[in-house]
Amino acid sequence: MSLDGVYEQDNIFAKILRGELPCARVFEDEHVFAFMDAFPQARGHVLLIPKHSHARNLLEEEPEKLAAVILGVQRVARAVRAALEPEGIFVFQTNGAPAGQSVFHLHFHILPRAGGPPQFYAPPAADMDELKALALQIAAKIS
């Protein structure tokens, strides 16, 4: 799926929100719902989703709703830290299938990380002139 599309009411996270599928609930308030990932990438992998949204990704969410969502992410990340005492916490969010998104309901991953190298590769340094040209191209589209 691309960045554009129609929200599907029967996605797995919508079903979890409606109570149609089970989950291991971590936290809930009026804005967000957090639960354990059924296919964890690390012990303690938590997912957090907005409760009153039909945004498929971050780009579609209403800005006024994002404040409550990111506060929920911070609150749960702090709880993961207190409960599991990881060496680090990886918070990420993907947009579109090419970026790794598999459920098209806005969501954030909160993963405790410990020891070992990060799961990212270190590419060679980019050309500064190319970076400056890209920066100008992107900056011109900021509204």
The domain that holds 67 is classified in CATH as 3.30.428.10
What φ, ψ does residue 142 adopt, rounded to 5°?
-75, 125
What is the C-alpha to C-alpha distance for residues 17 and 23, in angstroms, rounded to an integer? 10
The catalytic residue among 31, 52, 107, 109 is 107
CA triple 18-77-41, angle to 5 deg:
75
The answer as to whether 84 is a domain residue is yes
Neighbours of 109 (CB within 10 A): 19
Q: State the pTM of this model.
A: 0.87
Domain count, the chain: 1
pLDDT band of residue 74 (cuts 50, 70, 90) is very high
Domain that holds residue 94: 12-139
The answer as to whether 97 is a domain residue is yes
Instruction: Please indicate whether residue 52 is annotated as part of the active site.
Output: no
pLDDT band of residue 118 (cuts 50, 70, 90) is low
The answer as to whether 103 is a domain residue is yes
The answer as to whether 6 is a domain residue is no
Please, what is the average pLDDT of the chain? Answer: 91
The answer as to whether 76 is a domain residue is yes
The answer as to whether 43 is a domain residue is yes
